[in-house]
């Protein structure tokens, strides 16, 4: 058997898998010789192949899995490692200057599933036993369908929002609040800037609030929206924001409008210029908005917790659905969330040693 399964609970009491090395390590050995390690992405070595999951730099392994096209999951492939990625991820990576090559076709021992995070994002099931979620959302949002999860022996899951305060409202509730916010601004002739990641969040914003007009797009969002339209996503073709164009600026001065832009610091020239000329209300979309300090620290007028990740409860539901013998948590509140899972009777530990600093509220404030 390529993997010996991590041990299940004994009468509901969490216990350490008998065949694993010490916990809180960046490397976990199975007695079969298989191994999971966390460093430059996560690497799984089995008796028949090795696979690197979302590395930051090319790895000398048989397969490299690129779960989605966010920059922190991208690398420039080198060597002979076969890239496993969806066609959408390959297309979006290309727009961002990364060439992941052409589709790999099926790879024996690696099955991929929609992870519901952004267009083309995937989770991977290795050897029918280890399920790696990558970034994921289990909620349906706009044109995205939530991840359903899969039964597995070992679950390697993201835990970005793995703290109990991060429980997001229903998406419909948030959408209604945003419409009200835009309505209030428009009533007082105040333009609105809606901000989020240029890939993923910005397309969701474009989709959810497309009934307002006029809407213009920051150049980085414009490129990503076009790419989505090319791949069949039903987004309206909004014009790009032409800063410095005299005719365009005359048009802007005639009434309220919306610009969809990346999350930018108040110190960025784009935001400074907009504020100076038009005094728009700035709203942002992130799960960190659940933290009362977020608005104060970022200086935005409104923050809505519409996220492309699971919230705390979604993460727990996913773990229950997958019913693994062992859970390893990565990113965000990895240690804290693993402790929560242990309280619920799971066998869980953080998989430490990631190359990236953990994503926290403060990492957004600094940018």
Instruction: Specify which residues 125 forms β-bridges with.
Output: 111, 131
Of 221 and 281, which CB lies nearer to Zn ion in the complex structure? 221
Stretch that binds Zn ion, among 31-39, 48-56, 132-140, 346-354 (CB under 5 A): 132-140
Tell me how far apart the alpha carbons of residues 145 and 117 are, in angstroms, rounded to a whole number: 9
Tell me how far apart the alpha carbons of residues 15 and 172 are, in angstroms, rounded to a whole number: 40
Min CB(70)–Zn ion separation in Å: 4
Instruction: Output the six-digit token pair for 365.
Output: 């404030």
Contact between 83 and 66 under an 8 Å Cβ cutoff? The reply is yes
Tell me how far apart the alpha carbons of residues 331 and 348 are, in angstroms, rounded to a whole number: 14
Of 69 and 107, which CB lies nearer to Zn ion in the complex structure? 69
Q: Helix (H, G, I), strand (E, B), or coil: what is residue 112? A: strand
DSSP 53: E
**Contact pattern for Zn ion over residues 153 through 172, marking x by CB under 5 A:** --------------------
| Residues in contact with 355: Cβ distance below 8 Å, sequence separation at least 6, in sequence order | 39, 40, 41, 56
| Residues in contact with 233: Cβ distance below 8 Å, sequence separation at least 6, in sequence order | 119, 143, 203, 207
Of 135 and 352, which CB lies nearer to Zn ion in the complex structure? 135
**Contact pattern for Zn ion over residues 322 through 361, marking x by CB under 5 A:** ----------------------------------------
Stretch that binds Zn ion, among 127-135, 169-177, 271-279, 320-328 (CB under 5 A): 127-135
Of 70 and 139, which CB lies nearer to Zn ion in the complex structure? 70
Min CB(288)–Zn ion separation in Å: 14
Stretch that binds Zn ion, among 106-114, 129-137, 323-331, 346-354 (CB under 5 A): 129-137
User: What is the DSSP annotation of 232-251?
Assistant: T-----PEE--TT-HHHHHH
Contact between 304 and 326 under an 8 Å Cβ cutoff? The reply is no
| Residues in contact with 17: Cβ distance below 8 Å, sequence separation at least 6, in sequence order | 6, 7, 325, 326, 347
Establish if 135 lies at the interface with Zn ion (CB under 5 A): yes
Of 46 and 284, which CB lies nearer to Zn ion in the complex structure? 284
**Chain residues 269-328 in contact with Zn ion, contact rule CB under 5 A:** none
The alpha helices in 281-333, defined as continuous H runs, are: 293-298, 312-322
Of 135 and 314, which CB lies nearer to Zn ion in the complex structure? 135
**Chain residues 55-94 in contact with Zn ion, contact rule CB under 5 A:** 70
Of 192 and 361, which CB lies nearer to Zn ion in the complex structure? 361
Contact between 89 and 35 under an 8 Å Cβ cutoff? The reply is no
Min CB(5)–Zn ion separation in Å: 29
Min CB(199)–Zn ion separation in Å: 8
Of 131 and 241, which CB lies nearer to Zn ion in the complex structure? 131
Ramachandran angles phi, psi of 315, nearest 5°:
-65, -45
Of 70 and 127, which CB lies nearer to Zn ion in the complex structure? 70
Total of residues contacting Zn ion (CB under 5 A): 2
Min CB(216)–Zn ion separation in Å: 25
Contact between 26 and 355 under an 8 Å Cβ cutoff? The reply is no
Min CB(197)–Zn ion separation in Å: 8
Tell me how far apart the alpha carbons of residues 236 and 232 are, in angstroms, rounded to a whole number: 11
Min CB(98)–Zn ion separation in Å: 14
Owner of token pair 């007082």: 188
Min CB(71)–Zn ion separation in Å: 9
Min CB(137)–Zn ion separation in Å: 10
Min CB(111)–Zn ion separation in Å: 21
Stretch that binds Zn ion, among 5-13, 135-143, 166-174, 244-252 (CB under 5 A): 135-143
Three-class DSSP labels, 127-142: CCCEEECCCCCCCCEC
Instruction: Output the six-digit token pair for 337.
Output: 């969330």
For the chain, the first-to-last Cα distance in angstroms comes to 47
Of 66 and 259, which CB lies nearer to Zn ion in the complex structure? 66
Stretch that binds Zn ion, among 103-111, 131-139, 231-239, 287-295 (CB under 5 A): 131-139
Question: Residues interacting with Zn ion, by CB under 5 A?
Answer: 70, 135
């Amino acid at each position: 058997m390529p993997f010996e399964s991590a041990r299940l609970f004994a009468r509901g009491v969490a216990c350490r898998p008998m065949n694993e090395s010490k916990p809180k390590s960046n490397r976990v050995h199975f007695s079969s010789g298989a191994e999971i390690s966390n460093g430059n992405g996560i690497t799984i070595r089995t008796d028949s192949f090795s696979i690197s999951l979302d590395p930051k730099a090319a790895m000398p392994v048989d397969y490299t899995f690129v779960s989605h096209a966010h920059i922190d999951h991208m690398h420039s492939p080198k060597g002979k490692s076969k890239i496993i990625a969806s066609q959408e991820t390959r297309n979006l990576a290309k727009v961002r200057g990364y060439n992941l090559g052409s589709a790999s076709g099926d790879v024996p021992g690696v099955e991929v599933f929609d992870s519901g995070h952004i267009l083309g994002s995937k989770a991977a099931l290795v050897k029918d036993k280890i399920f790696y979620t990558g970034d994921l959302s289990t909620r349906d949002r706009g044109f995205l369908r939530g991840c359903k999860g899969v039964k597995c022996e070992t679950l390697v899951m993201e835990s970005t929002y793995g703290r109990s305060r991060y429980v997001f409202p229903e998406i419909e509730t948030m959408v209604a609040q945003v419409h009200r916010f835009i309505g209030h601004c428009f009533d007082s002739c105040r333009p609105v800037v809606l901000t989020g990641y240029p890939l993923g969040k910005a397309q969701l914003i474009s989709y959810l609030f497309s009934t307002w007009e006029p809407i213009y797009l920051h150049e980085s969002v414009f490129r990503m929206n076009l790419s989505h339209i090319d791949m069949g996503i039903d987004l309206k073709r909004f014009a790009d924001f032409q800063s410095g164009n005299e005719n365009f600026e005359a048009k802007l001065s005639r009434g309220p409008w919306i610009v969809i832009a990346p999350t930018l610091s108040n110190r960025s020239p784009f935001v400074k210029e907009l504020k100076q000329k038009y005094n728009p209300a700035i709203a942002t979309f992130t799960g960190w908005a659940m933290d009362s300090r977020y608005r104060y620290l970022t200086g935005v007028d409104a923050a809505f917790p519409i996220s492309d990740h699971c919230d705390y409860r979604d993460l727990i539901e996913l773990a229950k659905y997958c019913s693994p013998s062992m859970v390893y948590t990565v990113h965000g509140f990895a240690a804290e969330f693993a402790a929560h899972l242990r309280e619920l009777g799971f066998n869980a530990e953080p998989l430490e040693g990631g190359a990236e600093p953990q994503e926290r509220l403060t990492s957004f404030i600094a940018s």
